Every structure is written in C-alpha cells, then in structure tokens.
Structure 1
Amino acid sequence: MEDETTVYEELGVPRVVNAAGTKTRIGGSLIRPEAVEAMSRAAEAFARLSDLQVRAGELISEVTGAEAGYVGSGAAACMTLAAAAAIAGDDLGTMARLPDTDGVPNEIVMPRTHRNGYDHAFRAAGAEIVDVGNNDNYLGTGSNSTEPWELADAITDDTVAVGYMQKVFSTPPLEDVVDVAHEHDVPVIVDAAAEVPPRENLSAFVEAGADMVVFSGGKAIRGPQTTGILAGKREYVRSAALQHLDMHVAESVWEPPTELFDKDALDGVPRQGIGRPLKVGKEELVGLIAALEAFLEEDQTELDAEWEARLAIVEEGLADIPGVTTRREPGGKLMVAPETYVDVDPEAAAVDAVELVGSLRTETPRIFVGSDDLSDGGFTVNPMCLTDDEAAYVAERIREATT
C-alpha cells in the first residue's frame, strides 16, 4: 500500500483503512471528486439556502418521482424532519412547541421487527412509537411477524404516521402497509437510508405509495456525509422546510421561495423549528447536488465488476491460511455491495475473530472490517471504500495476525 501522508496523520489522528463499508463512525464514504470541487467553489461565494434547497428539491423530485424533495444533515436528520412534518403539518404553534407534543397527536405505528436504534430520530421530534407484531418469523412457526390488520388495529386518532424500515427482508410488503395507512388517512415514512444502489430504489418506494422516503446522501451516492435526502408529498416537505430553514427575519421582508411555501397561506413567520440544529451548509447542498448527478450517471455494472475484482484480491491473499476460510456473499441483503465473509477457527488459527478484529483496529493505520458476525466467529470485508492496494494490505495484515 502506498505510504501517503493524509491530513489525519498531519493532525496526529490515526488514519483508517476502511474495509467495513459506508459506516458513519469511520467517516461514511469517500466524497466524489465532482462534489469536492463543487463544495470548494461553493465556499467562495454566498447563496440563499432556501434557493439552494429549491434547486436540490427539483433534482430530488426528478429522480425519485416524488412531488417534492429536501436536504437535511443526514438520513437521521431527515427522519426527524419527516416525523416533525407528520406531527405539525402547517400549524406554526405546534412547530414552535416541538418536541413537546402534549395534547397533540404524535404516535408513529411501526412493525416491531422494524424497530432499531435509528428510530430515535422519530422520537427526537416528539413522536411516540407504537410497535405491533412479534418475532414469529424467527421462531419458525410459519406465521408472519406483523400482519396488516395489526397495523390497522393500532391506528387511532393519535396516529400521525406509519414507520417502515426498508430492507429486502422487511415484512409486511410496503404496498400492503401503504394500503392500510392510506385507508386510515395517515402517511407512511420509509427509512431507506442505505438502500441505493440499485439506482431504481430512488423511485421504487415513492412508486409503492410511500408519502415520505429518506435516503443517505453520504453512502453510495457519495455526497457529503452530513447530507440526507427527504423525498415525498409536497405538504410534508413544505412542513419539514418550515421547521428547518432559518426564519429569523422580519415578516415585512420575508419572501420565502414560492416553490416551497405560499406565504399568504401561513399565519406568519415560523419560529426557529426543531430542524434548526439539523441545518445544512451551502457547501453541503451544492456537494449533494453534484454527487447525486454523478451517481445517476455511474455505470453500476462496471462498479459491480470493480467490487468483485477487489474482493478477489482479498480472497487470494487469504487463501491457504490454517483456520481461515472465505466465502463470497452477494450484495442486496444488508449491504448493497458484495462482501467476503471470513470465518476464523480459533483452534487452527493463531487468534479468534474477536481478538483479530480488535487488534486490526489498534494498528497504524487502523483497519476496520465488518464486525456484525463476531459472535459467530467471523467478520466481513466490504470493497466499497477500498482501493486495490488497500484490499491487498488488509489481506496481508489478516494473514500476519492469523499465522
């Protein structure tokens, strides 16, 4: 691996070789060169952020098929904005009080198997999550974890939305959830943060009837890590924008973009809303626009071949190590890219998987691999954020540690 000094070493911070994928805790993905250049140029001048949001929203609407689009400071931020929009609508008083929802409908119904740490983003806006169903799929009884009737039964006058975490194994099917929710006149919010590529997923959930869909701007799209995309119905995007943009201005000179708001339909200028801490800078907005445009032009077939070839480098480097076996896992389940699963037999190898993965993280540079399967004695190598040289280096360091 080329021994180039990064800005991190100059700051005295250990560099990371990222074989784990687009993980926020180690910086997400590498921003596209087109986005870096656009961000640098954006830093040289000024623009009204609401105007930039309109331009970004036009692109998001075009690529997703949604009525409107918006940019927040990450996918979790967009989930908070979506929940806030579902709770407050156009009510400026409710917006001003969030996350206090005393006396205001605030429940988001979710299948229990869709619950995860990221739904804290809903609760940050003042939402209360009502989960339904059980874990029957995992018990092998043959019944489903959540039935559509259970969602319907949980929807009351206090329900503001149904939440849905999108994965290829998510049940019930999104279309069925949409049918139930819309029958009860409540919107569906889809967390699809890591669900691109394929490119078609940008529009798939809107086409399935979702009212708000959230994507990360800093994963496979490779925009700034602190960007997320909210695509959906105009009424909800409008509410999100009202609670996000800087409204600290005299009403007499407040001229919000007509593409976002009808000023005459509002009671006045909103206070700084729940979205204010989730602000996005002009550089990030421009960078996300550039990255999304580049992502749309990317040859996914070529990129898939590049990822497969990079994993072949890793697998060749790990061949014939006692106690270490590898297998190729196709993309599309938990990760969009294929991965190499590395199984470590501690009785034959020099270390077990936990010790190995932990030691790799203490090296210089640090090496991060996928650690979700450590309890089963294995880990994964993801090619998305590696160069070919780095792939060979990761294999070399694993071989050194296991022999």
Structure 2
Amino acid sequence: MENVYEKYGLKQVVNASGKMTILGVSKVSDDVLEAQKFGGQHFFEMSDLVLKTGQHLAKVIGAEDGVVLASASAAIAQSVAAVIGQGSMHHVYHPFDERYTNREIIIPKGQNVDYGTPEEVMIELGGGKVVEAGYANMCSKEHIEMMITDKTAAILYVKSHHAVQKSMLSVKDALEVAHKHNLPLILDAAAEEDLRKYVDMGADIVIYSGAKAFSGPSSCLTLGKKPYFDWIRLQSKGIGRSMKIGKDNILGLTKAIEDYLEFGPETGDSMKERLTPFVKELNEIKGIDAKIVQDAAGRDIYRASVTVNNEAPIDALKLIEELKKDSPAVYTREYRANMGIIEFDVRAVHESEMTMIVDKIKQIMK
C-alpha cells in the first residue's frame, strides 16, 4: 500500500497524549477491521442493524437496552432530545417547538467542560437549556437539588479527567437526587473503561466513546434503561439524521466491544512495567524530572509525568512545541504545561517509539 503520509504530505505522529480525538483516538485491531470490511461490503436494513446490535451488546453487558451511535457528542445531543420529546414524533420533526417546555438539563458547573467542544453545546444542540449547579470548585447533592424545577428534563453528570474532581458529588449521589425527583440521569462516561459499573448502579443513560477505551472505530455505545432507548433511536428521524453512523462502524464497534469484554484493556501494572525503563532514561536527561503517576480521575491508567526544571535550557511549553516539529511528531498531554509538567501516555506507544521520544528530547535539550 502506498505511503499515505507521503501521498498527502502528512506528518507521522507518535501518540503519547492518550486516546484523543485530535489524533484519531485509537488504533483498531485486525479483527475489528475485518468486521468493518464485512459491514462496508454488505447491505442491511439499517434500522434492524441498529436495533439488533444495540440489543446484543446490552444483553452481553447486562443493560436493559443499548444503541450504537456516531460519537459520544452525538449521544449527548440525541439523549437530551429524547428526554425532552419522550417519544413524540411531532417533537422529532419540531425539536425546538416552544410547546415542549421541560428542557432544563442540570449539570454541575465544574463539569461543563470543553472536551473539544463544551458540554453545553451538545446539550443545546439537543434542545436543552443548560442549568449549572454548584460552583467551579464544588457541587453537592444539595446544589443539584436546589436547581430542580418543574421544567427539569434530566440531570447530566460528566465522569471525566477534564472535569473538576475536588469537592464534587459522586455519580451515586447524582443518581440518588435524579431518581428521588423521578428524573433520568444522563452519564457522559466517554473515556471510562468499566462497561458494567454504571449500568449496575442504575444510571438511566450511559454514554461511552467507542474509539477510546474500547479501541473501536469512530462511534459510541450508549447503554441504559427503557423507554429512553426507544426515544433515542427515534432521533434518527430527526436531529440524529445529521449524526448517522455507517454500517461498517456499527459492526466494527460491536466486534471491538466483544473483544474488550473477552480480553479487557492493558492493565495498570503492565503500563507501569513498560514505563519504568522509559522514566529511568528520561531522568538521565539534564533538566528533566520524571516519575510514574496515575490518571487524575482514578482510572487504572498510568503515565510518565515529566517536570521541566530550572536546569533545562527551555521550558515545558517550548519542549512541547519542539516535540511536535518534524516527522515523526510527538504529541503529549499538555494540560499542566503552564506548571512545567508534561505527561506521556504510552497506551498506544511501542518500545521503539519510547526510545525515539527519549532521543528526540535529548536532541532538543542540547
């Protein structure tokens, strides 16, 4: 096969930033590619394919129902539209009609984050009105409860490293408040890895990115309770039409989830083992202090945390800039670069690429 990088003049990328949308998220396995190929080369009644694959995945995971959608963002918008319209075909065709007055979606203020687009953009795309609860540095059950009105359609909780972790109510807390007031809880768990935890907890709509933890194609698996999923599927005739997913990616994600349930992700212990020699080599570079750290949201993910200290000839922001130059370019996690800290996520990085990263940093530091 011809070299795509050369054909289109693209930089080759070493993805040490994690499963990030800006870099195409994940690598998919040969088995997933085969499932996508079958989907691409055959025909189906699409409504039947959507229904049957979603129900199959829900059954093997232990949820009441499920559906494969185009992305986690699409799932947020369609879930919001679903809880507002509640199965009304008129609403599907007229999603912003003023007669549908129960549009308020409560979200903790510290969770209204920008993950590539703000959460509120997807809520509003689904016809919801954003109501923030609590404050930037805290949100309790009481903060959520005091924002509930007769116009509230749902509570949205974001389980993500992007969101504020300090003084934040738990998923269980949010679920208790929602169900106390007969409201559904929509859980944005896009990058989470446990497919059963939140379903078993009783969350009504749980949204997972298919391309992140599960190494599937661009897609989303949404799981939860009836009747919400009849309402979500109905959105394919409305706003969901602009967010439709192809048959190839439906079958690709279905295979990726099946494989994930059988084999699981790379363990934290495995990551730490691979990181140990990498961190040791980084610490031999003047101006660098490296250590292994766990994911800030508590997931079983470990990364190399690199502090660019005062002995370095450049700061962390400049190092990030230099790593992205030339081909292969190295992309890292930049969230704390203003504090002099860069993180390297090695889930999609091979040993030879780790060596290349060390060599590139050595050259930059000279």
Residue in structure 2 matching 1:11, options 8, 11, 14: 8
Query: How far 1:331 sits from its partner (Å)?
Result: 3.7
* Residues 303, 37 of structure 1: alpha-carbon distance in 2 compared, 3 angstrom cutoff: farther
Query: How far 1:348 sits from its partner (Å)?
Result: 1.2
Letter in 2 for 1:189: I
Q: Secondary structure at the match of 1:243?
A: helix
Q: 1-side partners of 2:152 and 2:35: how far apart?
A: 42
- Matching residue of 2:333: 370
Superposed CA offset, 1:219-252 (max 9, x none): 120010x2011111121111111111xxxxxxxx
Matched, 1:227 2:219: yes
Query: How far 1:54 sits from its partner (Å)?
Result: 2.2
Task: Name whichever of 156-165 and 40-49 sits farther off.
Answer: 40-49
The correspondence of residues 187-266 of structure 1 with structure 2, limited to 5 A, is 187-196=184-193, 201-224=194-217, 226-244=218-236
- Matching residue of 1:296: 261
- Matching residue of 1:32: 29
- Matching residue of 1:260: none
Matched, 1:275 2:276: no
Query: How far 1:379 sits from its partner (Å)?
Result: 0.3
Letter in 1 for 2:247: K
- Matching residue of 1:265: none
- Matching residue of 1:127: 128
* Residues 107, 73 of structure 1: alpha-carbon distance in 2 compared, 3 angstrom cutoff: same
Q: 1-side partners of 2:302 and 2:148: how far apart?
A: 39
Superposed CA offset, 1:256-302 (max 9, x none): xxxxxxxxxxxxxxxx30111110100000100111111111154x6
Q: Secondary structure at the match of 1:383?
A: coil
The correspondence of residues 155-174 of structure 1 with structure 2, limited to 5 A, is 155-167=148-160, 169=165, 171-174=168-171
Q: TM-score, normalised by structure 1?
A: 0.84
Q: 2-side partners of 1:14 and 1:336: how far apart?
A: 31
Superposed CA offset, 1:122-173 (max 9, x none): 11111111111124xx5xxxxxx22222222211111100011124847312
Q: TM-score, normalised by structure 2?
A: 0.92
Query: How far 1:62 sits from its partner (Å)?
Result: 2.4
Letter in 1 for 2:322: S
Q: 1-side partners of 2:348 and 2:97: how far apart?
A: 41
For the 8 Å contact 2:272–2:292, the answer to whether it is kept is: no
Decide which structure has the larger Cα Rg and report it. Answer: 1
- Matching residue of 1:264: none
- Matching residue of 1:314: 278
- Matching residue of 2:64: 67
Superposed CA offset, 1:335-368 (max 9, x none): 65200000102x4112111011011112212110
Unmatched runs of 5 consecutive residues or more in structure 1: 139-144, 245-271
Q: Which runs of 4+ in 1 moved over 3 A?
A: 99-103, 167-170, 302-306
Q: What do you get for the CA RMSD once the two structures are aligned?
A: 2.0
* Residues 37, 332 of structure 1: alpha-carbon distance in 2 compared, 3 angstrom cutoff: farther
The correspondence of residues 21-100 of structure 1 with structure 2, limited to 5 A, is 21-100=18-97
Residue in structure 2 matching 1:391, options 354, 360, 363: 354
The correspondence of residues 288-367 of structure 1 with structure 2, limited to 5 A, is 288-300=253-265, 303-331=267-295, 333=297, 336-345=300-309, 347-367=310-330
Query: How far 1:56 sits from its partner (Å)?
Result: 1.9
* Residues 335, 203 of structure 1: alpha-carbon distance in 2 compared, 3 angstrom cutoff: closer
Query: How far 1:327 sits from its partner (Å)?
Result: 0.8
Letter in 1 for 2:320: V
For the 8 Å contact 1:323–1:348, the answer to whether it is kept is: yes
Letter in 2 for 1:231: L
Q: 2-side partners of 1:209 and 1:370: how far apart?
A: 33
* Residues 286, 103 of structure 1: alpha-carbon distance in 2 compared, 3 angstrom cutoff: closer
Q: Secondary structure at the match of 1:110?
A: strand
For the 8 Å contact 2:16–2:332, the answer to whether it is kept is: yes
- The count of residues paired between Structure 1 and Structure 2 equals 358
Superposed CA offset, 1:69-117 (max 9, x none): 0011111111111111111111111111124556521100122122112
Letter in 1 for 2:256: A
For the 8 Å contact 2:16–2:349, the answer to whether it is kept is: yes
Q: 2-side partners of 1:100 and 1:19: how far apart?
A: 45
Percent of aligned pairs with the same residue?
28
